[in-house]
Each structure stands twice: as structure tokens, then as C-alpha cells.
Amino acid sequence: MATTIIDDGVSTSAATVTGRRAGPRDEHRAGWLLSIPFLVLYLIFLVGPAVYGIVMSFFNATTVRPGLGKSVGFDNYRSILTSSDFWSSMGHTVWFTVLTTPPLVILALVLALLAERVHRGKALVRFIFFAPFVLPVTSVTLIFLWLYAPEIGLIPHWFETVGLTPPNLLGETKWAFLSVAALTVWWTIGFNFVLFLAGLQEVPRDVYEAAAIDGASPLRTLTGIVLPLLRPTVVLVTMLQILASMQIFNQMYLMTAGGPGTSTRPVMEFIYDTGFSDYRAGYAAAATMVYFAIVLVVSVVWFLLRRQSNKEVGA
């Protein structure tokens, strides 16, 4: 059966006009309308509490009394900036960052380079390295508490086997930092490993083929081609790791509770103790804002380094 199509000219013209009106402006408007639910939730759950925290930092607020309490101006900030406990906790956080960042970047890069060269069982190798990262912090802490236990722990037993006196791995400050750092490296290296793998897969295959045709050795290919192309990923992983290490709390709190004394207490635990143990919510809010400003400076440095690295690679 034949079908007759009637073109009256008017409908075509109207459709054309309608099509012209549904341009970028309409798409822009539709994008904003679709984003409204997210923006509302963002304002309620992120911007709102942040603004309230800033306001609270100027009051003598506590967690046992409703309301903000008496206004204290900048007294909380002056007290934080002159607090030896705060800066001591900051020193502990920086030391932990120094202990964990180099191995979590270098070892993850080495493991990714080795895993990339595996031809059989590549998926299994990637799973083995990434699997610890999905474990909850409480499980990881229990495993390492058993390893470090003075009487029954595996590591003290190794010391005794070779005739050495086992150290108190969680009872001495220097050993406590190293013990928690070792836990953190084992637990989180899988995340950086995956980031480096993604970066290596962005390196064009023909680059390797050209290097092989030119007779370049594997070491020369790595240092002269792969690592320069991987520089943006290295910068990204390094700065993300610094930011992550600066937010150390869970594993340190569960394994040492900041002890012995407060000799391993990081800044996040200082804020927790101030707000929830000493009930000084306003003071803790001020400490949070000071620490946020420090982390923000580190983030800006990361942004500038990343932009410079991208320019050099793109040049």
C-alpha cells in the first residue's frame, strides 16, 4: 500500500523555527534545571555545615549546650595558633606524611610497571595488589595488631628467631609511627597502583615499538620515554597521597589512640579530642578552619604543579 506524504510548507517552516530556538541556550537552561536537585543537596549538606562551622569558630560553643554560646571574636584562632599541642599534632601529621608518601608513590609506580609487563594472569596480578584497599579499616587494624602484639605477634617472633630483642612496636613513639606507616602502605598502595596503571595505558603503543626499532634498552625506554610521559600522573598521585596522609586519623586512633601520651596524635585526632572529649566545639571548629587553610595551600600548590606539568608535556 502506497503512502502519501503531504508537505504543506508551514509545518516544515515551523519545525525549522522550533529547531533553531532549541539551541545552546535551551540546553544550558535544561542543564541547570536538571542540576537543581544536586545543588539543593550540596547547599544543605556541604555548604551549610561549612558556613555554620565558620560561624561556630567565633563563639564559645560546646557540644553539651544548645546554641552557639558567647561570642569570643578571634580568641579561638589566637589560641589555636599559639597552642603547642596543635603544632605538635601538626608535626606528627607532617612526619607521618613524610613516612608514607615516598613508598606509596615509588612502590606503587614500580608495581604498576611490573604488572604492565605481565602477559598472562594480568587481571589476577592487578586484583592481588588492589584487594587490600577494599578492606575496612577495622579489619586491617585487627590484622596488624595481631602482627605487632608483644607476646603473640608474628613480627616480635621474627625478632626473637634471629636473636634480637623485639621492640615495643606500638608502645614506643618511633616504632609506633613506623608501624602505622607500614600498615598504611600495605592497605592503600592499591589505589595509587591503579592510577599508575591507568597512566601507563595512556602511553601510545607505537612509542614502545619505535624505541625497540631504534634499539633502546628497556631502562632507556623507561627513563627517556615512559617516565616523562607519565609525569602528570606522578604529580597527581604524589599530591593526592600528600593530602590523604595529612588526613590520617582512623588507623592511628585505632592502633595507638595518639599514644604513648600524645606523641603520635595527628591533627585530626587533636580536633576530635577537643570537640568530642573536651566538648569545646567552637575551639575545635577554629582548629578545623586553620587546618583547612593549610590543606588548601597544599592543594593550590598541587594545582600549580599539575598545570605546569601539563604544559611541559604538551609542549
The residues spanned by each domain of the chain are 84-279
The third-level CATH classification (topology) of the domain covering 84-279 is: MetI-like fold (1.10.3720)
| Cβ-based neighbours of 40, under 8 Å, separated by 6 or more | none
Alpha-carbon distance 98 to 86, whole Å?
18
Q: Is the dihedral of CA 32, 36, 40, 42 positive or negative?
A: negative
Predicted local confidence at residue 314, as pLDDT: 60
**How far is residue 197 from each of residues 18, 113, 122, 128, 133, measured CA to CA in Å?**
48, 8, 11, 14, 15
Residue 229 pLDDT class (50, 70, 90 cuts): confident
C-alpha grid cell for residue 233? 600522573
Residue 19 pLDDT class (50, 70, 90 cuts): low
pLDDT at residue 166 above 70?
yes
pLDDT at residue 96 above 90?
yes
Q: What average pLDDT does this structure show over 40-54?
A: 93
pLDDT digits 0-9 by tens, 106-150: 999 999 999 988 888 888 988 998 999 999 999 999 999 999 998
